[in-house]
Homo-oligomer: A and B are copies of this chain.
Amino acid sequence: MNSDATSAPASREERRDALVLAAYNQIAERGFEGLRTREVAAEAGVNIATLHYYFPTKEALIRGVVEHAMRRFRSTLAPHGTPEAQLRNHLRAVRRLLQDEPQLGAVMGELSLRSARDPAIAHIMQDTNEAWHRTLRGLLRRAAAGGHLKPELDSDAVAALVVAALTSMTLPTVSASPRTDQALRQLERWLGI
């Protein structure tokens, strides 16, 4: 619950964001299964009718959450440094992001499952995944060209494997395991970074 009597009056954008964030947290905590508009409104400190003033339907609110999660996740995709360093940093950044903000993993997992039933989400997730894959493949190729990576690697296949390994960490079953860090380090060893 967020109702802070001393907080400054929220602007239009801030209130929208607060609602999206509340929904984001609710989805992380209870899944789409347990997402209740009244709960979201309460957590944002507003009346249920106010929620509908900003988002005409629950679906519209969910689209807001999708955008938020994607923006949040894409922030990890813009590294700098040498390609090898970027690769290593990227693996660790994703891992850290999912650890520091466990909601993101949960929401991404929920969205991934929902994409099987919701073409709009499927499309967005696919786009994001494609961008992610291309970024990784680019890094792998440049690292190989610079002689800092075993040249026999198929950059497409490796990129796909890295995406898969990192994606699996959005699932509690995997991310809760104490061996997940070992798995990532093994990946780094194989990549030689």
Contact = CB atoms under 8 A, between A and B. Distances in A.
A186 B30 CA distance: 36
Interface stretch (A7-15, A37-45, A78-86, A176-184): A176-184
A163 B32 CA distance: 26
Contacts of A29: 117
B31 A117 contact: yes
Interface stretch (A63-71, A141-149, A154-162): A154-162
Interface of A: 29-34, 106, 109-110, 112-117, 122, 125-126, 129, 133, 153-154, 156-161, 163-165, 167-174, 176-177, 179-180, 182-187, 190
Contacts of A113: 31, 106, 109-110, 113, 171-172
A161 B172 contact: no
A65 to B, nearest CB: 14
A168 B173 contact: no
